Amino acid sequence: MTGSLTTTPLATGTWTIDPDHSSINFSVRHLMVSKVRGNFDTFSGTITIAEDGTPSVSADIDVASINTGNEQRDAHVRSADFFDVEKYPMATFRSTGVEAKGDAYVLRGDFTLHGVTKPVSLALEFNGVSPGMGNGEVAGFEASVVLNRKDFGIDIDTPMETGGVVVGDKVKISLDIEALRQA
């Protein structure tokens, strides 16, 4: 270890996700040969550490904040063909448990998207705690999961003449999270 970064457990209390220093990114196959990448610009969440050290994670994502760098595509993904943000504006995650897996962790919880709730397991890395830059302690995490969009009722299939579909079923979600300890 260098500097004052530690990998000790998080202190008891509430840690708030800092959206200015965090990101929620995704990638999905396009035309069977490449990937479209994007992110969600608006999200929030907390990590609460109980007195016994048990963590609880709660996060909300504004689905309409999708950003793939192409406004026409983003508008289509917001439509009823995909996310239907008029009807389902938020995606949520509520943890149900965490367990050690080697040097990393598995964060289990219920993910709700498009009105459908499913259990998911995220591969989680705890990057440690820093004293921060004058606003209190900061903790860092990385997490990822691969979801099948059809499991959440997003089942649009646009076949290609040569076989396959325009948009793949599997969506990889990657999170880089920085959380601030609340006083």
**Domain spans of the chain?**
13-181
Instruction: Give the dihedral sign, CA 116/119/122/128.
Output: positive
pLDDT at 3 over 60: no
Residues constituting the chain: 183
- The residue among 121, 60, 130, 123 whose CA lies nearest residue 93 is 60
pLDDT at 51 over 70: yes
- The residue among 97, 116, 94 whose CA lies nearest residue 108 is 97
**pLDDT score, position 165:** 45
Q: What pLDDT band is residue 29 in, cutting at 50, 70 and 90?
A: low
CA 59 to chain centre: 8
Beta partners for 65?
A: none
Strand ranges inside the chain, DSSP E: 13-17, 23-30, 34-40, 43-49, 55-62, 66-67, 90-101, 104-113, 116-130, 138-148, 167-181
- At the topology level of CATH, where does 13-181 sit? Lipocalin (2.40.128)
Q: Which two tokens stand for residue 2?
A: 């260098």
**pLDDT score, position 132:** 80
For residue range 76-128, what is the model confidence (pLDDT) as tens digits? 889 888 889 999 999 999 999 999 888 899 999 999 999 999 999 999 999 98
pTM for this model (two decimals)? 0.86
Beta partners for 105?
A: 100, 124
Please tell me whether residue 64 adopts helix, strand or coil conformation: helix
For residue range 9-25, what is the model confidence (pLDDT) as tens digits? 788 999 999 999 999 99
Identify whether the C-beta of residue 141 lies closer than 8 Å to the C-beta of residue 124: yes
**pLDDT score, position 65:** 97
